[in-house]
Amino acid sequence: MTVKSAGIVLGLVIAVAAAAQMLPSTARFMQAMNASMEHMDREMAAALMNGNVDHDFATMMIPHHQGAIDMAKAELNYGKDPVMRRLAQEIIVDQKSEIDAMQLWLTKNLAARKK
């Protein structure tokens, strides 16, 4: 087991222990947040890099932005504060737009390289 994996496992153990002492909705929120971060980390680690800085930046940022969207959805599902809920809504819209822009750039860049 790598140090990073051990750290993730330890973080999950701590989160589960803390969640056991929380209200059910808070525990579900923490589970959703942890799941979002784990998924984001897996997707970022699996991103196909090619050594082109611009390509690699976009490839890594797409799962990062999706992680932000998933976390914002957890806020909308469990959060109560209207300011935080509005911020979560804005994050979803903004991050989706940026993902679309990066995917478009990647598609155009790939097409240009094939010419």
Distance, in Å, from the CA atom of 95 to the CA atom of 61, rounded to the nearest integer, reads: 10
CATH architecture under which domain 3-114 falls: Up-down Bundle (1.20)
Please say whether the beta carbons of 109 and 59 come within 8 A. Answer: no
User: Tokens in use for 53?
Assistant: 């800085």
- pLDDT value for 10: 72
What are the residue ranges in the chain where pLDDT is below 50?
A: none
Distance, in Å, from the CA atom of 38 to the CA atom of 55, rounded to the nearest integer, reads: 23
- Residue 21, classed as helix, strand or coil, is coil
What is the pTM (predicted TM-score) of this model? 0.77
Please say whether the beta carbons of 74 and 40 come within 8 A. Answer: no
Please say whether the beta carbons of 79 and 88 come within 8 A. Answer: yes
Please say whether the beta carbons of 75 and 84 come within 8 A. Answer: yes
Reported as type and span, the H/E element at residue 10 is helix 3-20
User: Tokens in use for 5?
Assistant: 């994996």
